[in-house]
Chain A
């Protein structure tokens, strides 16, 4: 019986097992890095969409300037350009609009949103959109604007 050949075969088998182990490990590290990069990019896109939507809501008066739910193209909530006052009429119009129509106008169809306006008097508080589920991936932005005679906190949450 040729023992030399047997020893060589065992050595080769051992080397292949070690090689396969290292290969699988390196591969899983690469896949992990790849999925992290994709996740990071998705988060950036989500943050971008939230920032854009928030900017339109609290820094613009929208288009047309005196828009209603029937003719709105850009749902800005300011009373007029330059003023930092949120229009009560526009909030009411927005609250009465179809949820998907708002998402389409803000180009956030791939996300859900929740807009909350926390005013000085509780009676002026408004919530528009869908309640954020506990385990969702979410981005939240908050701004303060003048609304109904006082400062109001406006928070927009985009989630998936």
Chain B
């Protein structure tokens, strides 16, 4: 077939198609990766926060009656059934602790007669 002006070669169309397809693959892949990375970052961040709270509770418990620890947090904390919950992460507490729902800010941990009680200041 004689090539006329204004006609595009089949190779060019195929090339553009392949480039667009590859661009689509890269876009979907990078979106997936950024979602996964954010999930892992939150898991690591909340895990560290959760462990810090749990360690302080255990410390207040082992230090015995009338011990008091003050901590400052930038996140909400829930304590339910000997488990600390921060964001989507939970971690266990050893020792006796009272259930609590705490807002970010200063949290006071008191060992009251062998049971750790947490309150917002």
Instruction: Point out residues on A near B: beta carbons under 8 Å.
Output: 4-5, 8-9, 12, 16, 19, 23, 27, 30, 34, 37-38, 40-41, 44-45, 48-49, 51-53, 55-56, 59-60, 63, 73-74, 76, 81-82, 106-107
Chain B 83-102 interface 0/1 with A at a Cβ cutoff of 8 Å (1 = within): 00000000111111000000
Select from chain A the residue with minimum beta-carbon distance to B29.
A27
Q: How far, in whole Å, are A106 and B91 apart by their CA atoms in the complex? A: 12
User: How far is A73 from B48 in the complex, measured between Cα atoms in Å?
Assistant: 26
Inter-chain CB contacts under 8 Å: number: 76
Size of the chain B interface, CB-CB below 8 angstroms: 36
A41/B29 in contact, CB under 8 A: no
Interface majority SS on A: helix, strand, loop or mixed?
Answer: helix
Closest Cβ of chain A to B26, distance in Å, is 7
A53 / chain B contacts, CB cutoff of 8 Å: 94
The answer to whether B55 has its CB under 8 Å from any CB of chain A is yes
With A5-B9, A81-B64 already in contact, 17 other A-B pairs whose C-beta atoms are closer than 8 Å: A5-B10, A12-B14, A16-B22, A19-B22, A23-B25, A37-B44, A40-B44, A41-B47, A48-B51, A48-B91, A51-B55, A52-B54, A55-B58, A55-B59, A76-B62, A81-B65, A107-B92
